[in-house]
Amino acid sequence: MLEIKDLIVSTDNKKILNHFNLTIQEGEIHVLMGPNGAGKSTVCKSIMHHPSYKIEEGKILYQTEDITNCSTSEIARKGIYYIQQSPIEIEGITNLEMLRSALIERKENLDTFAFHKQCKEICEKLNIPTSFVSREVNVGMSGGEKKKNELLGMWILSPKFLLLDEIDSGLDVDAIRIVGENLKEYQQKTNASMLVITHQQSLIDQLEPTYVHRMQDGKIIESGTKSLAKKIEKYGFLQDTLANDVSESEQNE
């Protein structure tokens, strides 16, 4: 479904992604972990064709189509939905206006009554007031509320692929649980694929990822399952040798 082939990306004349490879099939959830500065957010921004990031080499394919040179709006229209680490505020445009115009642009038949009913149900599920629907996009919302507000957009626009960059940041424990449940429910209903950047073990447990990857210096250096996330939580990113030594001795016990 999404295939990133040997991507080299630079910004400010500095190489950030260095032969980055990743393939995500339909319905799969992939978690991407790595120390600060490893290039995790750059992966998302490169997929979305952020203008500050230059793709020097490599390709990004989505549903076998080469999207490396597509514009951000074309990529979004193809069904890739990106929730940024710090969602931007859009003054002067309400959620309602933005979401309605996105649906109208897709030429979807919009029944206003059904649309409002759907928004209300989603707000209840996300534990946010229904009044969020008529607020300006993310304006004056707390960090956690912004993340939930972006999820409101996800339910309405029903993307097939989600890029979630530290969706847990700014969320309290209850909100993490609600967001985790929400994402899992969405994934099960739509069979969407997800690339999730997180170090939050409780969220990883809830999402039950297909694969967990560890990134360093602009590329994936290790891939595994949930146990890789547990190992990283236990030993950190810096203590490889220790982790290997200990797991070998654990195995020998």
Work out whether 198 is an interface residue with Mg ion (CB under 5 A).
no
| Residue in 38, 137, 164, 179 binding ligand ADP, rule: CB under 6 A | 38
* Of residues 40 and 160, the one with the C-beta less far from Mg ion: 40
Nearest to 152 by CA among 177, 116, 176: 116
Cα separation, 116 vs 132, in Å, equals 12
Handedness of CA 5, 33, 14, 83 (dihedral sign): positive
CB of 201 to ligand ADP, least distance (A): 18
Token duo for residue 40: 């995790």
List the single partner that 131 binds among ligand ADP, Mg ion, none, CB under 5 to 8 Å by kind: none
List the single partner that 129 binds among ligand ADP, Mg ion, none, CB under 5 to 8 Å by kind: none
CB of 42 to ligand ADP, least distance (A): 3
Work out whether 147 is an interface residue with ligand ADP (CB under 6 A).
no
Work out whether 9 is an interface residue with ligand ADP (CB under 6 A).
no
Work out whether 40 is an interface residue with ligand ADP (CB under 6 A).
yes
Cα separation, 190 vs 161, in Å, equals 10
Nearest to 208 by CA among 23, 15, 29: 29
Beta bridge partners of 7: 20
Q: Which amino acid is at 55?
A: I
List the single partner that 37 binds among Mg ion, ligand ADP, none, CB under 5 to 8 Å by kind: ligand ADP
Work out whether 213 is an interface residue with ligand ADP (CB under 6 A).
no
Work out whether 52 is an interface residue with ligand ADP (CB under 6 A).
yes
For 77, half-sphere exposure in the C-beta direction (CA atoms, 13 angstrom radius) is 13
Interface ranges with Mg ion (CB under 5 A): 40-41
